[in-house]
Structure 1
Amino acid sequence: MKLEIISPEKTYFKGDVDSVTLPGILGPFQILNNHAPLISLLTKGLIEFSTNGHIKEMKISDGFVEVSNNNITVCIDPIKKKVKLDE
Structure 2
Amino acid sequence: MADKPVLSVSIVTPDGRVYEQKGDFLIVTTSYAPMGILPNHVPVLATLKVDEVRFKHDGEQDRIAVNGGFIEFSNNVATIVADSAERQGDIDVSRAQSAQERAKKAIEKAKAEKDPDNLARAEVALRRAINRINVANH
| Same topology, TM > 0.5 | yes
1:84 to 82, 89, 95: 89
> Larger % of helix: which?
2
TM-score, scaled to structure 1: 0.87
User: Are residues 1:30 and 2:36 paired?
Assistant: yes
CA-CA distance at 1:49 after TM superposition:
0.6
Alpha-carbon distance between aligned partners in 1 of 2:21 and 2:63, rounded to the nearest angstrom: 14
Alignment of 1:12 with 2:9, yes or no, is no
Q: Which residue of 1 is the match for residue 52 of structure 2?
A: 46
1:21 pairs, out of 16, 20, 27, with 27
Q: Give the direction of change, closer, same or farther, for the CA distance of 1:16–1:40 in structure 2 (3 Å limit).
A: same
Instruction: Return the offset for 1:82.
Output: 7.3
Which ranges in structure 1 are unaligned for 5 or more consecutive residues?
none
Q: Distance in 2 between matches of 1:24 and 1:10?
A: 22
Task: State, as a whole percentage, how many aligned pairs show the same letter.
Answer: 24
Over the aligned positions, Cα root-mean-square deviation in angstroms equals: 1.9
Give CA-to-partner distance per residue, 1:28-49, whole Å, 9 cap, x none. 1111000101100001111011
* Cα deviation code 1:44-67 (max 9, x no counterpart): 111011011101111122010000
After TM superposition, the structure 1 = structure 2 runs for residues 61-72 of structure 1, keeping only pairs within 5 Å, are: 61-72=67-78
Change in CA separation of 1:82 and 1:17 when aligned onto 2, cut-off 3 Å: closer
Structure with bigger strand share is 1
Quick check: which has more Rg, 1 or 2? 2
SS of equivalent to 1:74:
strand
Q: Shift of residue 78 of structure 1? A: 2.1
